[in-house]
Amino acid sequence: MAETVCKTVRQYNKAPISTMDMEKLLEIAADYASVKNYVYARYGGIGSLAKIYPGYTVQNEMTGSGLRAELGLPSVYFYLAVFDALGDIKSQWTATKTKIIRLIGKNDNLTADEKHFLRFILKTTNALEEVLNQKQIVLPKEFQRKYEELAAEVDVERMKRYLCRQVRKYMVKLHTDVADSFSIAERAYRYADHGIYISTKEKRQRIFVPLTDNNQYKSQLCIKLYPAENKFEIRAAVDVAVHSYSDYKYQVGVALGMYTMFTTHEGHCYGQELAKYQTEYADWVRTQTRVYCRNRKDNPGRKKYNAKKNRFEERLHSYINHELNRFFQIEKPKTIYLVKMPKPYAGGSGRAINSKINYSVSMWQRGYIKDRLVQKCRERSVLLVEVLGKNISNECSECGAPGTKKDGVFFCGACGYRVEEKINTARNVRNRGENGKIVRKSFSE
């Protein structure tokens, strides 16, 4: 069987949706959000931690709750809402545990044995649930023996109190006020007549919406509603065949930039007009924000703003995808080495010296570029290797010695190597990716 990767495709309505049909869809979305909020409130706390894995207990309890009959919501929507909410709760618990584990590693007041004990509890769901609910920890035989070994080296009660404090501090209570989307199972829709028939809350009644294409999918769909414009968007997850190319045989180091999207280790540049598009976009957003804040009382509408903002983003994304395709066609990479960049910093206090820089950085599409690169690598059987980039731009790619940078040019005093800074960085990325560290050449070479 051929290897496949998952890809999200979209469909759109061809003609505006009637007001009556849009109201029916919005009613489903509102009930869908109500079910999710009910699940958040009932199963989002520490008392239900044992029920959410794998989730069938929640399904059975929700069936007996009477909420579906109260809302009059068909089962094809009700149970999808339940499991969507469960997925959000599981993700929230995963994020909370990941954050606590990271903070434990940075806590100098904890000993190595205490850190080991806390990590063991966090990674063992049954143990964490019993700690948070003040129960005696009882685990399967092998895990119980390991727990007792670790507990003998620490103050167990102190560690339990520490975990409870951290969970109370960082666990977020989920709730949604957005009621403009819902998932739909295969039994609740039917493609026909160049459109789609969608089930409503009325028994055996479906609304018909003509579509812009004739594609048909047999999977769970997500419906995103835009009532102000009388339109919707269908998102479907499809499996795309992975292609292998015999001429893709090169190893390419890539330096990611704000003004030039990619610079390879050989000095080839892709996305050189990215700066123009991003600067124009950032300047427009900054200007519009200033005008809106000044005239908010008199002009609260944002319809034209959102429409033009979407046009800017679509143009930018179209250019990025075009340059990525060109990159693959020319470079023909077998392996791509890319700097693993840190997450954007959201903290700090005070205003930056130059607000234009703030807007330029906030508009940088590095997340979108990375996502599209990952997707295209999967579809082409290209290996993407992320390389730790600490100090990688300050070392010479020829001899590995520290160098200096001035006006975008890197110079090494040890070997006399002079090259554009981005090319030096891209070469170091490739070298460090192959060997785990930058290749060190002797001075005689």
Q: Most confidently modeled of 82-96, 135-149, 377-391?
A: 82-96
Whether the model pTM is above 0.75: yes
Q: What is the mean pLDDT of residues 72-93?
A: 94
- pLDDT over threshold 50, residue 442: no
Q: Are 262 and 321 a contacting pair, CB within 8 Å?
A: no
* pLDDT range class, residue 181, cuts 50, 70, 90: very high
Q: Confidence band (pLDDT; 50, 70, 90) for 234?
A: very high
Tell me the mean pLDDT in the region 61-66.
92
Q: What span, in angstroms and rounded, lies between the C-alpha atoms of 237 and 438? A: 40
pLDDT of residue 434: 66
Per-residue pLDDT averaged across 398-427, rounded? Answer: 85
Task: Calculate what percentage of the chain has a pLDDT beyond 90.
Answer: 56
Element at 192 (helix H, strand E): strand 189-192
pLDDT digits 0-9 by tens, 238-294? 988 888 889 999 999 998 888 889 999 988 999 999 988 888 888 888 888 777 776
- The two beta strands, 333-340 and 383-388, are parallel
Q: What is the pLDDT of residue 341?
A: 74
Predicted local distance difference test score (pLDDT) of residue 349 = 44
User: Mean per-residue pLDDT for 364-368?
Assistant: 85
C-alpha pair distances (Å), 74 with each of 2, 70, 318, 439: 37, 11, 39, 62
pLDDT over threshold 80, residue 113: yes
pLDDT for residue 310: 87
The per-residue pLDDT for 348 is 45
pLDDT of residue 50 exceeding 90: no
List the single range of 194-203, 222-231, 286-295 with lowest mean pLDDT: 286-295
Q: What's the rounded Cα separation, in Å, for the pair 438 and 33? A: 52
Element at 197 (helix H, strand E):
strand 195-199
